[in-house]
Amino acid sequence: MKYTKGDDLDILLTMASAQAAKQLADGMKSEDVSDVVFDEHYYKKRKRIIIRESQRSFLNVAKKYLFKAAAFVLAAMSAGYLVVMSTDSTRGTEGSIVLDWHDKSAIVRYVPSDKTRSKAEEDANNAKESYMPTWIPDGVDEVIDKQSGSRVDVSYYKDNAKIAEYTQGTYMHTVMSIDNEHSVITMTTVNGHEAVLSESEFFNLTILIWVDGDYIYKLSSSVLDVDTLFQMAISVK
């Protein structure tokens, strides 16, 4: 590597790094790696990267049609052919669950329709009731961590180990988030109300979030299966 008196330090470092990398690469080519065996963590990580990159490619293609799809939906809604809303049979409000997509997480929130927004916001601000699951699995102990107005936090234990958590709050003042990088996210319902189910093998965690018009609820567990979480959710009173 040659240099002159006027060369900048960063240029010299860059050239040295490039030369070192080339030497290392040339040396690796001549190494005998026939007896190298990768452990299971290597293959798991490689699989996650392949899946992530393939999904990313799909999303890049899908983005090209995002605005066209949005325009179609808006046109259909304005023409009265498509209604993307749920009606709360108990409180008579209309709205929908919305996922605000971020880099590694999604925020789950409830958005009332324009015609019921004022009533929904007033009801949510005045909401003081608290609800909890009335059914829990046998052998599970319930510990109420917080119960103040419309805010409720409950932990569930089995053999002195925490196995699940439950949270209730008003939709206007409670933030619920889920992982969107290593999870399978599915839209579903709980007692006729819109819900979001997040299942992650990576984090060994299942999360169920639903909204009934005034309140937003969340059940999560790394032990209980999906059917058990749904049984607890539908028993909330």
DSSP state of 208: E
Contact status, residue 212 vs residue 90, Cβ threshold 8 Å: yes
pTM score of the predicted model: 0.61
pLDDT one digit per residue (tens) for the chain, 237 residues: 554 545 555 556 666 666 665 666 566 555 555 555 555 555 555 555 555 544 444 444 444 444 454 444 444 444 433 333 343 434 445 678 889 999 889 999 888 877 667 776 777 777 788 999 999 999 999 999 999 888 999 999 999 999 999 999 998 889 899 999 999 999 999 999 999 999 999 999 999 999 987 899 999 999 999 999 999 999 999
> Where do the DSSP E strands lie in 88-204?
94-101, 105-112, 141-148, 151-158, 161-170, 176-179, 184-190, 193-200
**What gap in Å lies between CA 214 and CA 91, rounded to an integer?**
8
Please report where in the chains the tokens 């997509």 appear, as a residue.
Answer: 101
Q: How many residues does the chain have?
A: 237
Alpha-carbon distance of 38 to 216, in angstroms, equals 46
